[in-house]
Structure formats: structure tokens, C-alpha cells
Amino acid sequence: MSAKFVVTGAAGFIASQVCHQLLDQGDEVVGVDNLNDYYDVRLKNWRLDQLQAHTNAHNFTFLKLDIEDHTKLIDLFKKQGPFDAVLNLAARAGVRYSMENPHVYLSTNTEGTLNLLDCMRANGCNKIVLASTSSLYAGQKMPFAEDLAVNEPLSPYAASKKAGELMAYSYYKLYQVDVSVVRYFTVFGPAGRPDMSIFRFIKWIDEGHPIELFGDGSQSRDFTYVDDIANGTVAAIQDVGYEIINLGGGRNPVSLSNIIESLELLIGKQANIENKPFHIADIKETWADITKAKNLLAWEPQTSLVKGLENSVQWYFDNRDWLKEVPV
């Protein structure tokens, strides 16, 4: 039996893949996105075009809408509902930019989440999947498990995501809203965000532009392929009460230097590396403990790092004509 979902941030990197997977299984999707210019909107429009070309595109409705606008969200729930669940992937992302413009992070990531929760409560929608971040684990012992205390965020971005988690917990306790918080670990893949390392590295290596590498390249990440992340997000649409669930590679973290070496081989060009000071808000390493995801969601990543990098490079080559104009 099909269901009906709201997916926020639907033109985004991860949310667009979540929409694809929901459409694949025959569900109805109302996707909303404010199409802001944090990065080049052509990427967001490209992802929306792919959704409009889906075999089940008749089940997809897109609305340009900002989750910070409570009044328009109320209207959305009245006109498009009822909904079986909300998948809130709309967010201001990026650690460094959050230090330059912290207010917009709070208004989107925290107040926007509150607006959605309040509309859910008023309209009898009792399930939310809330996207969060591994950035909360800064300074903790690895691999990062969900029961670690994460009360010392290093950036306004991490703080705003933690606040969203806490707001969702209050609605779980007060109004019995069922909450799956999914903490993402360094997501990569085709049509990624141009401010993220792998997109940048591919473009810079191909164009002969110096790679801006903060630190010495030894910092490492638990890279996780976007299709796997989307799969885990969809799997989290189940009754759990209130649970925080890591979605990550669950493998030994890989250094940025190793990523660059792999991309050099795939692209067939040498990188020109320009080292810069390590950023104060960056995490040295990330590594997800995904035991809970395996047990609760029967989920674990299926795509190897090598295959994911191959797919990312191929997508870049296939779209290079217009991607050359996209700033990173």
C-alpha cells in the first residue's frame, strides 16, 4: 500500500535521492525546497529535472516553499495533506559558512524544524525523519556511537542541528510524535554539493586548478555514498519512539590525501595541492558506529568507496559542459 510523504529540501543532494527511492516504491511525494542560492541553483534544477523524468513522476509534486515560513507550511498541510510522514532534509549546511552567517542556520535548521513539528501536531501527522550530522561528535572517542554526549558543538551549524534534535525530542515526549533522527557521515556521489570536498577535488583536478587543502591531508572521513544514505533514510520511516541513528560507511576512515590519489587515477591528471591552515571548526576524523542502523533498520551501506568515486567522476564527465560554469 502506497503512502504520502513530505520531503523538505527536495532539490538537495540527499533529499532528491530520497524522493527517487520513494517514487521507486510507488509512494506519493510532495517535495518542497526554497531553491536558495547557497550554491549554484543549476544543480538543484538538474536534480528536479531528473525527478520530473522519473517513471512515477505523476506521483511527484514540487512546491517552492521555505520551511521558515510557518504560514505557508500551515497552508501546505491543509491543501496537500494528510501525510503519513515528514522527511525533513531541508537544512543550511556547511561548517565554515555557519561561522559567517549563524543566524540563518538557526532559523532554518532549528526554527524550520519547529515549524514542521507544529504543523504535524496540528494535522495528526505522527512520524518525522530528521536529518542531522556527524559534526556533533567532534572530540569524541571513535567509532562514534549514538549514546555519546554531544553537548560541545564546534560550529553554529552543529549547534543548530543539535537544537533541532532536542526540539523533536520535546514533541515526542509532549505529543507522541515518532522521531527517527538520522546522523549523516560525509555523504558523496553524483550531483553532490559543490562546496563539498569530493566535488571540488574532481573539478579542480580536471581543470588544473590548485586544490585548497586545509591541513596536511591526513584528516579522514567516513565517506558514505548518497544512494546508501537515501536508502537508510527511507528505512527510518518506521515506528521507533525516539531514536538517533548513525548512517555512515562504518568502515575505517579514509584520509583526504588518499581520496585525492584515487581521483588522480580516475581522472588521469595530477593534482596541484595548495595547503592551508587546518580550520578551527573542522573535525580531524569521523567514523560511524552503525550497529544500531544494522539492528534497527536492517541497513548497512552497499556501495564501496571506489565504486562511489567512479560514479562521481563519470557523472562529472557526463555533465562537464555546464558544470565548468558552476563555482566551487
CATH number of the domain to which 51 belongs: 3.40.50.720
d(CA 159, CA 213) in angstroms, rounded, equals 25
State which H helix or E strand residue 32 sits in.
strand 28-33
Q: Phi and psi at residue 47, in whole multiples of 5°? A: -65, -40
Establish if 209 belongs to a structural domain.
Answer: no
Asked if 6 contacts 87 with a C-beta cutoff of 8 angstroms, the reply is: yes
pLDDT by 10s per residue, the chain, length 328: 899 999 999 999 999 999 999 999 999 999 999 999 999 999 999 999 999 999 999 999 999 999 999 999 999 999 999 999 999 999 988 777 788 889 989 999 999 999 999 999 999 999 999 999 999 999 899 999 999 999 998 899 999 999 999 999 999 999 999 999 999 999 999 999 999 999 999 999 999 999 999 899 999 999 999 999 999 999 999 999 999 999 999 988 999 999 999 999 999 999 999 999 887 767 889 999 999 999 999 999 999 999 999 999 999 999 999 999 999 9
Q: Which amino acid is at 161?
A: K
Establish if 174 belongs to a structural domain.
Answer: yes
State which H helix or E strand residue 7 sits in.
strand 4-8
Q: Count up the domains in the chain and report the number.
A: 1
Which residues neighbour 191 within 8 Å (Cβ) at sequence distance 6 or greater? 13, 16, 43, 46, 47, 50, 315
Q: Phi and psi at residue 8, in whole multiples of 5°? A: -90, 150
157 labelled catalytic:
yes
DSSP 237-250: -S--SEEEEEES--
Rg (C-alpha) for the chain, rounded Å, is 19
Establish if 149 belongs to a structural domain.
Answer: yes
Place of cell 568502515: 251
Establish if 84 belongs to a structural domain.
Answer: yes
Establish if 20 belongs to a structural domain.
Answer: yes
d(CA 127, CA 180) in angstroms, rounded, equals 8
For 147, the domain range is 4-189+224-252+287-302
Which pLDDT score, from 0 to 100, does residue 296 have?
Answer: 98
Establish if 85 belongs to a structural domain.
Answer: yes
39, 137, 157, 172: the catalytic one is 157
Set of cell numbers at residue 317? 564527465
Q: Which one, of 160, 315, 164, lies nearest residue 227 by Cα?
A: 315
Q: Which one, of 326, 52, 88, lies nearest residue 193 by Cα?
A: 326
> Length of the chain, please?
328
Establish if 78 belongs to a structural domain.
Answer: yes
Establish if 152 belongs to a structural domain.
Answer: yes
Which pLDDT score, from 0 to 100, does residue 281 have?
Answer: 67
Before 143, cis peptide (omega within 30)? yes
d(CA 158, CA 133) in angstroms, rounded, equals 7
